[in-house]
Amino acid sequence: MPQPANATIRLDPMFTVGPLRRRLFGSFVEHLRRCVYTGIYEPDHPTADEHGFRRDVAELITELGPTIIRYPGGNFVSGYDWRDGVGPAADRPTRLDFAWNTIETNEVGTDEFLQWCTRLDLEPMLAVNLGTAGVREAMEYLQYVNGKPGTALSDERVRNGHPEPYDVDIWCLGNEMDGPWQLGHKTPQEYGRLAAETARAMKMFDPSLQLIACGSSNRGMPTFGTWEREVLDRCFDQVELISAHAYYEPVDGDHQSFLASAEDLDRFISSVVATADHVAATHKSDKQIMISFDEWNVWFQERFADRDLERVKAARDLIEDSYDVQDAVVVGSLLIELLRHTDRVAVACQAQLVNVIAPIMTRPGGAAWRQTIFHPFALTARHAKPVVLDVASRGPVITTDRYGEVDQLHSVATYDDQTGELVIFAANRSRTDPLQLTVDPVAFGGTLRLVEHLMISDDDPHAHNTEEAPDRVIPRPGSATVTDGRPTAVLPPISWHCLRLSTR
């Protein structure tokens, strides 16, 4: 291994990006093959609770640390009738889900999901169907979920076993309506008007709701930018957020660009912010539209696209990618970038929670285990402090085919002024070169104390966890030391780090 180049981080508690938004540690549960059934819910499993939900999976979810869960989709929601999933389970219809070519039994629906969220102390984020449904269905769904007893829809919920309103605060106005694959796909003009009318109706019920308009499904969409501008121009006064979705994979074997995927995320967020602020200016408004990055992850879509269509239709499993060390470093780097944009990204949901491109895997009737990407999410959610600092760094750059020259070191820092705790999250994005990191302590009185250094790294960047070897890749102690109050650490190639320091 070559000698490490030097990189320095300088931090100052006076220079901040903004407060850490805990909703950035969100996840996503969609009725997509094994995410729900044999994922979070399996009544015949040895660990199933009295409601049919797997306790072993619930324990891993608590360890992972998500704060908010988006439901029920995703592509699924654009063909979903919420009424199919309420009432006595024996009376619920079995439907064909057009989005994913599968049979939906509706064993799990709104009440089961929301009560599961309550038991696990998770905030729900619900999506309404604006693909094959519209304003009336959204109004009725909202009344069922949040209405006080005394009207037909809220009393229906009472009869179904939940007298008190669920008080769901944040709602998605459809899903990926810019995508031609979406049931009910619309032009930005069509969708913008529908989103405005739906939002206006929902806010007649409760003006305090936070509503999310559909943004672009990815930055490569031909309508990207134009979609955001035209949609927001029509629903600007009725919504608080606009969504963004992004998935990453090595394209044509370009692993170095893949490791720098956060560069695309940064440009995506900056472009949406610029467009939203342009619309605000044309509306003569100081209102800031925030971003809900409610789908993001590593997803090997090339593998999915290559699968035989008939096999896709017949398969019980779908999009169950197995993740390696390199994928975990990319996921950790994407989390770093989301934190770096805490001033404008209010919500982020890793897609999805269990089995489907997920940090948690299960076997029906058997074990549940952590994928490699579980660990950077869990450590960041657990250790990130209340304020995100504006990091100044100096170090080498690496060249990528996709993004040009980028910093080899990708980092962010969070700080708690009350306790003096400082946590740095960092990735070495080089495939070949180590990096020696030094943290400049001057702004913290010239001295810092090491609490812990954990890293995701392996001599084999393609090592992954399996049911048979669930702990092949886990966080391990890093090399950080402190000399004269100055922390230093060697970051191996393709590695992600959680460096916990104390300023007192």
**Which residues are identified as catalytic?**
176, 295
What's the CA dihedral at 28, 33, 39, 45 to 10 degrees? 160
Query: For the chain, how far is it from start to end, CA to CA, in angstroms?
Result: 36
User: What's the chain's Rg over C-alpha atoms?
Assistant: 23
Q: Which residue has the tokens 């509503």?
A: 211
3-state class (DSSP) for residue 146: helix
Instruction: Indicate if the alpha-carbon torsion angle 159, 210, 344, 277 is positive or negative.
Output: positive
Tokens of 412: 């962010």
Tokens of 486: 């100055």
Query: Pairing mode, if any, of strands 5-10 and 210-213?
Result: unpaired
Angle at 254 between CA 252 and CA 258, to 5 degrees: 115
Q: d(Cα 202, Cα 209) in Å, to the nearest integer?
A: 8
DSSP 398-430: EEETTTEEEESEEEEEEEETTTTEEEEEEEE--
Q: d(Cα 345, Cα 245) in Å, to the nearest integer?
A: 12
Q: Which residue has the tokens 């910093």?
A: 407
β-pair partners for 6 = 436
Tokens of 26: 């969100």
Q: d(Cα 494, Cα 260) in Å, to the nearest integer?
A: 11
What is the phi/psi pair of residue 426, to 5°? -145, 150
**Which residues are within 8 A (CB) of 284 and not within 5 positions of it... i.e. 6 or more apart?**
none
β-pair partners for 210 = 170
**Which residues are within 8 A (CB) of 248 and not within 5 positions of it... i.e. 6 or more apart?**
258, 261, 264, 297, 298, 299, 330, 334
What's the CA dihedral at 51, 57, 59, 63 to 10 degrees? -140
- The DSSP output letter for 90 is G
* The 3-state secondary structure of 96-144, one letter per residue: EECCCCEEECCCCCHHHHHHHHHHHCCEEEEEECCCCCCHHHHHHHHHH
Q: Which residue has the tokens 């020696």?
A: 436
3-state class (DSSP) for residue 474: coil
Contact 259, 330 (CB under 8 A): yes
